[in-house]
Amino acid sequence: MFVAASTECFLDLSLAAALDRLADLEYTSVELAMFEDADQLKPSLVAADLEKAISICRNTRRLDVVAFDLRLGPKLETAADRELHYAQFTAICKLAKAAKVVTLTVPSAELGTPFNEEVEHLRRLVDIAVLHGVRVGIKTQVGRLAEDPDTITVLCDNVKGLGLTLDPSAFIFGPYQGRNYDKLMKYVYHMQLRDTNKKAFQVRVGQGDIEYGKLITLLQKLKYNRAMSVNIVEQPEVDHVGELRKLRLLLESLL
């Protein structure tokens, strides 16, 4: 197990600037946020120029790229939308294979999406990923199907090969706060971390309820040997750089 950080921590910066900041903070591994609604590395640009994207992933300021966090476009409303979505995802799988990245994080569907429709969508993503030697993990996220531990279990059991990007904040701050999620550990492919309490999704490190030591112990029992990715966004009147450094040091002290 090792500590990484997401470029989403500095989403207002260019990808190169975000990588520089994380390197300055002495992170050695990085998760790339590939959001169509942001400007660091858009999925549409990966699909348009795969070779350029590969070059970018091989020039990451000595940081090892360990995962991709995806927000693809557009929404799956028409057949054309769906085909564009899957074309972008296929390009990112090719990029992942070239960059030796194993895990791709995708959001689950918004609440209200028919369950069978989501299962069909996730199966197609996993089928594409398997062809390129990549794994797909849905992210625990408030406001989406994967905010509920029971729904996550059913999805992972119904979509062979699907795993989980565990963000425990969703079970502390969201509508399922307090729910035991130990049963989800066997599905975990990747992790994203910050500190959280019942009143706020992100609080200063040490002021929240995330039990980092317990998480690490549970994952070690399952021989989890991949990244714990710090994902702390900037907040008013908070020392953002200090928080990123503090959580890195805390996690490294527990490993």
What the block records as the tokens of 48 is: 């348009």
pLDDT at 178: 85
pTM: 0.93
| Cβ–Cβ under 8 Å, residues 4 and 67 | yes
Pairwise pLDDT comparison (127 vs 58), residue with the higher score: 127
**H helix or E strand, kind and range, residue 33:** strand 29-35
Q: Write out pLDDT tens, residues 21-62.
A: 999 999 999 999 999 999 899 999 999 999 999 999 988 988
Which pLDDT does position 204 carry in this prediction? Answer: 96
Say how far apart CA 39 and CA 170 lie, in whole Å.
Answer: 25
- All structural domains of the chain: 2-254 (3.20.20.150)
Q: What average pLDDT does the structure give for the chain? A: 94
> pLDDT of 53-80, one tens digit each?
999 998 898 899 999 999 987 666 777 8
Reading phi first (left if > 0) and then psi (alpha if -120 to 50, else beta), residue 32 is in: beta
